[in-house]
């Protein structure tokens, strides 16, 4: 049976160095790590994870708290890209991942509490943030390593990765204004989510800056689901005075908007223009292609996992709040026919 001492002797290092390589210790040089891992692979050595966990008091596992309701996760490509970024970093750093979710808020807290109290994981990644989020409050109070993808005004000093969603929505709205639109509506997400509030605020700020009307009947709240966008069109397009353009909270919701408008006999962008968020791959393949704010979804997940691992390993993190830049991808859905003809 191959032991750590055997690996150390062949590599010309101490057994403690081999142990640090197995634990992905940050102070081990890349050359030493590669040399030791190559010998381990050649000899077919596999570390005893349970024994390593008992000695190091780490699990080499990160938990990812999935959002509710679960159907949003499986119907929205945004979360797949977010997870891809997280898993890339976790795998490269030698961490396993544990996916967890719950059916209700109380179950969610209990699920997280079991992970924390039992030390089943080294850290937790939260994929979304709510207004006055009890999970954030619990983890902050517990002083357990975690990172939030989003923001939380009640706990501004926590480790978080986000976009400037207010500015992103301002930019989206400003683009529609530049196309000559003065009546602009907003298809929002759940009011209890920080991202919904931030994007709504950015939309309103842009209208105020250009002295355009903010009409409550032009703002429709829903979920991050295609069906929400579809239902929103039944409401908005039945109004006596309708908007000529829409800012939509999410690309998947925008697909529902397109379907609803098509069934009602309206054409995009001839009758109504739209801009949405996340720039998922399918947005470019829609008919017409959807203008969308690229928020760097993969980079959000990648940076969040990177920051959490550094925190778990007690390495310095440059800043508690990291902001990923955004950019507007202009496509046919938001280009006015007048400008296209010109």
- Mean per-residue pLDDT, 281-298: 96
Say if residue 247 is in the same domain as residue 336.
yes
333 and 228, same structural domain?
A: yes
Does 205 lie in the same domain as 99? no
pLDDT > 90 in the chain, percent: 63
Residue 268 and residue 183 in one domain: yes
Total count of residues recorded for the chain: 342
Domain that holds residue 105: 61-163+297-326
CA distance 268 to 288: 7
What backbone phi and psi angles, to 5 degrees, belong to 271? Answer: -95, -35
How far is it, in rounded angstroms, from Cα 163 to Cα 198?
10
The answer on 52 and 136 residing in a single domain is no
* pTM, 2 dp: 0.81
Same domain, 98 and 132: yes
Residues 266 and 130 in one domain: no
∠ CA 217-219-225, rounded to 5°: 130
169 and 84 in one domain?
no
* pLDDT at residue 282 is higher than 50: yes
Residues 152 and 205 grouped into a single domain: no
Residue 19: per-residue pLDDT: 78
Residue 17: give its domain's CATH number.
Answer: 1.10.260.40
Q: Look at residue 342 in the predicted model and tell me its pLDDT.
A: 33
Statement: residue 67 has pLDDT above 90: no
**152 pLDDT tier (thresholds 50, 70, 90):** confident
Q: What is the DSSP secondary structure assignment for residue 218, as one 8-state letter? A: G
Q: Quick one: 270 and 245 in the same domain?
A: yes
| Residue 51 pLDDT > 60 | no
Same domain, 337 and 195: yes
What is the CATH number for 197? Answer: 3.40.50.2300
Question: Does the pLDDT of residue 229 top 80, yes or no?
Answer: yes
Rounded Cα–Cα distance for residues 18 and 257 (Å): 57
The reply to whether 268 and 181 lie within a common domain is yes
Q: Is residue 288 classed exposed, middle or buried when 0-12, 13-18 and 19+ CB atoms within 10 A define those classes?
A: middle
Segment 253-257 mean pLDDT: 97
pLDDT at 32 over 70: yes
Using the predicted structure, report yes or no on whether residue 189 has a pLDDT greater than 80.
yes
- State which of 36, 56, 76 marks the end of a domain: 56
If one counts the domains in the chain, the total is 3
117: CB partners within 8 A, 6+ apart: none
Checking if the pLDDT of 338 tops 80, the result is no
């Amino acid at each position: 049976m191959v032991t750590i001492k055997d690996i150390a002797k062949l590599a010309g290092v101490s057994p403690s160095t081999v142990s640090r390589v197995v634990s992905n210790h940050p102070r081990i040089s890349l050359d030493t790590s590669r040399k030791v891992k190559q010998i381990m692979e050649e000899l077919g050595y596999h570390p005893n994870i349970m024994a390593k966990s008992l000695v190091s008091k780490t699990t080499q596992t990160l938990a990812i708290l999935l959002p509710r309701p679960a159907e949003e996760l499986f119907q929205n490509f945004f979360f797949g890209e977010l997870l891809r970024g997280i898993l890339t970093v976790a795998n490269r750093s030698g961490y396993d991942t544990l996916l967890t979710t719950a059916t209700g808020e109380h179950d969610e807290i209990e699920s997280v509490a079991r992970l924390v109290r039992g030390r089943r994981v080294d850290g937790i990644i939260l994929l979304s943030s709510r207004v006055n989020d009890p999970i954030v409050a619990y983890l902050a109070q517990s002083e357990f390593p975690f990172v939030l993808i989003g923001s939380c005004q009640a706990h501004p000093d926590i480790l978080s990765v986000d976009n400037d969603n207010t500015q992103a929505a301002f930019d989206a709205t400003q683009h529609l204004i530049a196309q000559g639109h003065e009546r602009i509506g907003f298809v929002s997400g759940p009011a209890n989510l920080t991202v919904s509030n931030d994007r709504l605020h950015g939309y309103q700020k842009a209208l105020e800056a250009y002295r355009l009307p903010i009409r409550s009947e032009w703002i429709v709240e829903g979920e991050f689901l295609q069906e929400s966008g579809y239902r929103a069109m039944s409401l908005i397009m039945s109004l006596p005075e309708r908007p000529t353009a829409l800012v939509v909270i999410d690309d998947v919701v925008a697909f529902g908007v397109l379907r609803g408008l098509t069934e009602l006999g309206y054409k995009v962008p001839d009758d109504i223009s739209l801009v949405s968020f996340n720039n998922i791959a399918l947005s470019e393949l829609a008919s017409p292609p959807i203008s969308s704010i690229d928020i760097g979804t993969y980079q959000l997940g990648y940076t969040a996992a990177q920051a959490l691992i550094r925190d778990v390993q007690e390495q310095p993190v440059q800043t508690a709040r990291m902001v990923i830049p955004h950019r507007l991808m202009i496509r046919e859905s938001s280009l006015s026919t007048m400008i296209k003809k010109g």
